[in-house]
């Protein structure tokens, strides 16, 4: 066992107040991991105060329960802060994390910013929830995992691994998923929350296929501009799901979704298989994992520049590698 797990367990055990933090633009993994760990701590040590305070809300994840009401700055100052699933400090959604007495970082992104006093970073993990599951496994004789905690953790494991299909999935992922699943997860209800689509959302999907573009090197992309968002009555969050529609095109090793934000920026979601694309995201004000990154561009020209870079990158990859599909 990685000795940092023992340190984290000891710090949690000793703390009276614990504040949990996650990243901006919440997703199933950061919500599941923070709520899952919160529930484990509350069930194991009911006398502790464990808070998760965040302004951001997501309808499709609301089945995991509401966050806590804001607390005083004094509560932060006396707390142990645990930040989960956030690579760099700018992306921590509640910036009051900095008030905490001590900070633990638990993350599965490539390490670029060890902002914690204690850092547990394992970038080969398919999700942050997998790390919380590994933490639970290491101390399962001393921790309580309720059905609710299991549902939170399983949500993150399923969503961040693309239903266990992404490359980052290992035997460990599946063993830990088995441990969590056996704690009573109702998968029929969970998958209904996560994957059922409305009639209008499917109409939007059809429009993505109608409007998607392809570069000569094999990069597929879609621009979900404000017009399209209005035409289909999309929330920003729903517009962001467009990326998943482009994931299964033969010979397309990289796919991109550009989504206009209400602030006038263009959010970029980058995905790939075989070839890594995080260096492209890093060039355009972003970062992330080898095959799943995010970035932001600020004009149509910059969008075209990113597409051209991705196209060149994929051409190079195809010219120098075999076995890709």
Interface mask toward ligand AMP for 90-109; x: CB under 6 A: -------------------x
Pick 80 or 277: Cβ nearer ligand AMP: 277
Among residues 217 and 294, whose Cβ is nearest to ligand AMP? 294
Query: Of 13, 6, 35, which is closest to residue 80 (Cα–Cα)?
Result: 13
Transcribe 81-141 into DSSP letters: EEEES-SSGGGBSSGGGGGSSEEEEEE-SPPS---SSEEEE-TT-S-HHHHHHHHHHHTTT
| SS3 label, residue 23 | strand
Q: Does 287 bind ligand AMP (CB under 6 A)?
A: yes
Residue 311 CB, nearest approach to ligand AMP (Å): 19
| Residue 238 is a binding residue for ligand AMP (CB under 6 A) | no
β-bridge pairing 219-224 and 213-214: antiparallel
Nearer to ligand AMP, 81 or 286 (CB): 286
Three-class DSSP category at 232: coil
When binding is defined by CB under 6 A, the residue of 288, 307, 311, 314 that contacts ligand AMP is: 288
Task: Verify binding: residue 116, ligand AMP, rule CB under 6 A.
Answer: no
Closest separation in Å from C-beta 59 to ligand AMP:
17
Of the candidate spans 121-129, 172-180, 216-224, 287-295, the one that interacts with ligand AMP by CB under 6 A turns out to be 287-295
Nearest-5° Cα angle at 163, 215 to 148: 140
Closer of 76 and 284 to ligand AMP (Cβ): 284
Q: Give whichever of 35 and 91 is closer to ligand AMP, judged by the CB atom.
A: 91
Contact of 275 with 324, CB cutoff 8 Å: yes
Pure H helices in the chain: 3-14, 28-44, 73-77, 128-138, 147-160, 171-181, 187-195, 199-211, 226-231, 236-240, 278-283, 300-320
**Contact region for ligand AMP (CB under 6 A) — 48-56, 92-100, 189-197, 282-290?**
282-290
Helix axes 147-160, 128-138, angle to 10 degrees: 140
Number of residues this chain uses to bind ligand AMP (CB under 6 A): 11
Q: Name the segment binding ligand AMP (CB under 6 A); options: 166-174, 177-185, 195-203, 292-300.
A: 292-300
Map the footprint of ligand AMP across residues 14-53, applying CB under 6 A. Answer: 25
Give min distance, CB of 147 to ligand AMP, in A: 27
**How open is the CA angle 126-80-8, to the nearest 5 degrees?**
50
Tokens 């441990």 sit on residue: 179
What is the closest distance, in whole angstroms, from the C-beta atom of residue 7 to ligand AMP in the complex?
A: 25
DSSP 321: -
Per-residue contact track with ligand AMP, 122 to 161, x per CB under 6 A? ----------------------------------------
Question: Which stretches of the chain bind ligand AMP, using CB under 6 A?
Answer: 25, 87, 109, 269, 286-289, 292-294
């Amino acid at each position: 066992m990685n000795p940092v797990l023992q340190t984290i367990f000891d710090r949690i055990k000793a703390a009276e107040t614990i504040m949990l933090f996650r990243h901006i633009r919440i997703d199933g993994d950061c919500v599941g991991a923070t709520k899952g760990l919160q529930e484990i701590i509350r069930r194991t040590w009911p006398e502790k105060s464990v808070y998760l305070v965040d302004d951001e809300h997501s309808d499709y994840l609301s089945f995991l329960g509401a966050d806590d009401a804001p607390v005083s700055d004094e509560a932060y100052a006396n707390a142990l802060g645990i930040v989960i699933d956030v690579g760099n400090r700018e992306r921590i959604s509640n910036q009051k994390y900095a008030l905490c007495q001590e900070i633990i970082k638990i993350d599965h992104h490539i390490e670029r910013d060890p902002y914690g006093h204690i850092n547990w970073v394992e970038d080969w993990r398919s999700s942050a929830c997998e790390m919380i599951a590994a933490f639970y496994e290491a101390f399962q004789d001393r921790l309580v995992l309720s059905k609710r905690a299991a549902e939170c953790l399983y949500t993150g494991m399923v969503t961040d691994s693309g239903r266990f299909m992404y490359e980052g999935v290992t035997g460990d992922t599946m063993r830990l998923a088995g441990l969590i699943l056996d704690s009573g997860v109702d998968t029929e209800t969970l998958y209904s929350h996560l994957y059922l689509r409305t009639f209008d959302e499917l109409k939007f999907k059809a429009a993505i296929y109608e409007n998607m573009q392809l570069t000569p090197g094999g990069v597929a992309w879609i621009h979900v501009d404000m017009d399209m968002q209005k035409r289909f009555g999309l929330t920003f969050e729903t517009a962001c799901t467009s990326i998943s529609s482009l994931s299964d095109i033969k010979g397309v090793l990289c796919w991109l979704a550009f989504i206009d934000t209400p602030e006038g920026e263009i959010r970029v979601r980058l995905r790939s298989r075989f070839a890594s694309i995080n260096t492209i995201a890093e060039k355009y004000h972003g970062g992330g994992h080898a095959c799943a990154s995010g970035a932001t561009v600020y004009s149509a020209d910059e969008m075209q520049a990113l597409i051209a870079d991705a196209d060149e990158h994929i051409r190079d990859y195809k010219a120098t590698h075999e076995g890709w599909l």
